[in-house]
C-alpha cells in the first residue's frame, strides 16, 4: 500500500511540474521496477546506503543488456524520487551511462518516393508525406489540428511539442491541395488525421501504416516512422540549408543534436573511393 502511495505522489508531482504524459509513464514504470527490486532484496541490501542500492539496481540492469539510454532513464527517475518525493538529503553521486553513438537511419529521396507510391489510402499517404515534408515526430503528426496549418504560408504551428515548446515548421506546396481536401468541412479544433471512429489516429496506427508501406516498397533498412524526420533534416542539409535553420525547424534545444545529421551527409567521406 505504501509503495502505491509513493507512485501516486510521484505522479502528482510530475503532473504539477508539467512533465509530458510519456515521461510520467516512463518514470513511474522505472520506479515500480526499482521499488520491486528493493522489496525483493530487502534482506541483502538493508545495510547499504541509498546510493549503493541504486548502483546495485543499475548494474543489474546493465548486466541484463539494457541500453545506456534506459539506464539513464532509471537514474533520472530514481534521483527525482529521492530528491522530490522522499526529500532525502543523501546525495546520489552516480554518473550517467554512456549512450550509443549510432547514426540516424535515413531514407534516400528515391526510397521516400517508393514508400509513398506503395500507399493506396489517400489519408495515410498524406500522413507519411506531411511527416517527411515537415519533419514531424509521430506524436506531432497525430495531434495536428486544422488550426495549426497555414495553407497560404505553407507552415505548421506545432503547439507544446517535445519539451512543451511551440515551434514553426514548413511543408511542401505539392501536398497543399491534398491538405485542403482533408480539411474541408472540419472545424479549427478537429484533428487533421482522424480515425474511423472520429478522434485522432493512435501512434501505433501511424507506425503500422509506415511499416506496411516500407515492407511493400521492398526497403530492407531498419527504418522507423522517426526515420522520416531524420530524412527531412538530412535532405535539407544536402540542399544547402544552414544547420541553424534546420535546428529551428526540428525544435532542437541544442545545435549539437542537429549536427549529427552532418555526419550522414559528409561529402568528403562520400567522395573517397574504395581501393578494391
Predicted pLDDT of residue 215: 96
| Widest Cα–Cα separation across the chain | 68
The answer to whether 226 is a known catalytic residue is yes
Predicted pLDDT of residue 98: 74
The answer to whether 252 is a known catalytic residue is yes
The answer to whether 61 is a known catalytic residue is no
Catalytic: which of 137, 167, 200, 230? Answer: 137
Catalytic: which of 79, 162, 176, 186? Answer: 162
User: What CATH number belongs to 2-85?
Assistant: 1.10.150.130
| Burial class of residue 273 (count of CB atoms within 10 Å of its CB; 0-12, 13-18, 19+) | exposed
The answer to whether 162 is a known catalytic residue is yes
Quick: pLDDT tens for 137-194. Answer: 999 999 999 999 999 999 999 987 776 788 999 999 999 999 999 999 999 999 999 9
Is the pTM higher than 0.85?
Answer: no
Enumerate residue ranges in the chain where pLDDT < 50.
1
Catalytic: which of 27, 74, 132, 261? Answer: 261
Catalytic: which of 167, 200, 229, 235? Answer: 229
Catalytic: which of 83, 123, 208, 226? Answer: 226
Predicted pLDDT of residue 268: 65
Question: 109-270 belongs to which homologous superfamily?
Answer: Intergrase catalytic core (1.10.443.10)
**The C-alpha cell that represents 197 in the structure block:** 471512429
**What is the domain partition of the chain in residue ranges?**
2-85, 109-270
**The C-alpha cell that represents 121 in the structure block:** 489510402
| Burial class of residue 234 (count of CB atoms within 10 Å of its CB; 0-12, 13-18, 19+) | buried
Predicted pLDDT of residue 163: 66
Amino acid at each position: 500500500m505504501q509503495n502505491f502511495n509513493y507512485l501516486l505522489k510521484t505522479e502528482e508531482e510530475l503532473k504539477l511540474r508539467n512533465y509530458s504524459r510519456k515521461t510520467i509513464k516512463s518514470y513511474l514504470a522505472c520506479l515500480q521496477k526499482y521499488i520491486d527490486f528493493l522489496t525483493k532484496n530487502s534482506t541483502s541490501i538493508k545495510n547499504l546506503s541509498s546510493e549503493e542500492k541504486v548502483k546495485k539496481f543499475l548494474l543489474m540492469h546493465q548486466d541484463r543488456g539494457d541500453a545506456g539510454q534506459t539506464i539513464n532513464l532509471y537514474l533520472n527517475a530514481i534521483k527525482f524520487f529521492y530528491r522530490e518525493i522522499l526529500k532525502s538529503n543523501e546525495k546520489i553521486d552516480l554518473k550517467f551511462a554512456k549512450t550509443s553513438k549510432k547514426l540516424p537511419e535515413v531514407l534516400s529521396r528515391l526510397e521516400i518516393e517508393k514508400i509513398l507510391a506503395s500507399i493506396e489510402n489517400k489519408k495515410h499517404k498524406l500522413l507519411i508525406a506531411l511527416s517527411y515534408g515537415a519533419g514531424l515526430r509521430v506524436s506531432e503528426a497525430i495531434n495536428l489540428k486544422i488550426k495549426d496549418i497555414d495553407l497560404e504560408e505553407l507552415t505548421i504551428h506545432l503547439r507544446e511539442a517535445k519539451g512543451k515548446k511551440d515551434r514553426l515548421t514548413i511543408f511542401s506546396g505539392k501536398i497543399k491541395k491534398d491538405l485542403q481536401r482533408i480539411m474541408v468541412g472540419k472545424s479549427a479544433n478537429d484533428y487533421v488525421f482522424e480515425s474511423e471512429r472520429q478522434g485522432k489516429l493512435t501512434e501505433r496506427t501511424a507506425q503500422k501504416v509506415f511499416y506496411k508501406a516500407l515492407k511493400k516498397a521492398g526497403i530492407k533498412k531498419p527504418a522507423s516512422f522517426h526515420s522520416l524526420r531524420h530524412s527531412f533534416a538530412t535532405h535539407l542539409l544536402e540542399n544547402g540549408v544552414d544547420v541553424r535553420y534546420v535546428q529551428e525547424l526540428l525544435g532542437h534545444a541544442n545545435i549539437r543534436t542537429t549536427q549529427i545529421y552532418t555526419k550522414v551527409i559528409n561529402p568528403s567521406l562520400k567522395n573517397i573511393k574504395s581501393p578494391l
